[in-house]
Amino acid sequence: MRIFIDVDMEGISGIATREQVVRADSRYEEARRMVTWDINACVEGCFRGGASHVTAWDSHGSGHNIIWDLADPRADYQVGTNDLGRLHDIGEYDAVILLGFHAMAGARCAVLEHTMSSGSWQNLWLNGVKAGEIAIDAGIAGDAGVPTIMVSGDDKVCAEARQWIPGVLTAQVKVGLSSGGARMLSKDMAHRLITDTTEAACRKHREIKPLVHAKPVTMRLELVERGRIPGRPDVTVVDGRTYEVSGATTREALTRL
Count Cα atoms within 13 angstroms, Cβ side, for 250: 26
Rounded mean pLDDT, 201-220: 98
Residue 48, Cβ density class (10 Å: 0-12 exposed, 13-18 middle, ≥19 buried): middle
How many whole angstroms separate alpha carbon 233 and alpha carbon 212? 26
In a domain, 39, yes or no: yes
Classified as helix, coil or strand, 58 is strand
How many whole angstroms separate alpha carbon 206 and alpha carbon 227? 46
User: Sorting pLDDT into bands at 50, 70 and 90, what band is 101?
Assistant: very high
In a domain, 85, yes or no: yes
What confidence score (pLDDT) does residue 63 get? 81
What is the identity of the amino acid at 241? R
Rounded mean pLDDT, 206-216: 98
User: Sorting pLDDT into bands at 50, 70 and 90, what band is 200?
Assistant: very high
The CATH number assigned to the domain holding 98 equals 3.40.50.10780
In a domain, 64, yes or no: yes
What confidence score (pLDDT) does residue 170 get? 98
Domain that holds residue 144: 2-103+132-211
What does 112-125 look like in DSSP terms, one character per residue? Answer: T--SS-TTTEEEEE
What confidence score (pLDDT) does residue 153 get? 98
More confident residue, 165 or 26: 165
In a domain, 33, yes or no: yes
In a domain, 254, yes or no: no
Model pTM? 0.96
- Listed in sequence order, the residues at least 6 apart from 125 whose beta carbon sits closer than 8 Å to its beta carbon are 131, 219, 220, 221
What confidence score (pLDDT) does residue 27 get? 93
Query: What is the count of structural domains for the chain?
Result: 1
| pLDDT of residue 46 exceeding 90 | yes
Rounded mean pLDDT, 160-186: 98
In a domain, 144, yes or no: yes
* Mean pLDDT score across all residues of the chain: 96
| pLDDT of residue 62 exceeding 90 | no
pLDDT digits (tens, 9 = 90+) for 212-244: 999 999 999 999 999 899 999 999 999 999 999
pLDDT digits (tens, 9 = 90+) for 107-163: 999 999 999 998 899 999 999 999 999 999 999 999 999 999 999 999 999 999 999
- Listed in sequence order, the residues at least 6 apart from 15 whose beta carbon sits closer than 8 Å to its beta carbon are 9, 21, 31, 34, 100, 111, 112
What confidence score (pLDDT) does residue 5 get? 98
**Closest Cα partner for 55 from 103, 5, 119, 110?**
5
pLDDT digits (tens, 9 = 90+) for 69-94: 999 999 999 998 888 778 889 999 99
In a domain, 98, yes or no: yes
In a domain, 221, yes or no: no
Q: Confirm if 9 and 65 have CB atoms less than 8 A apart.
A: yes
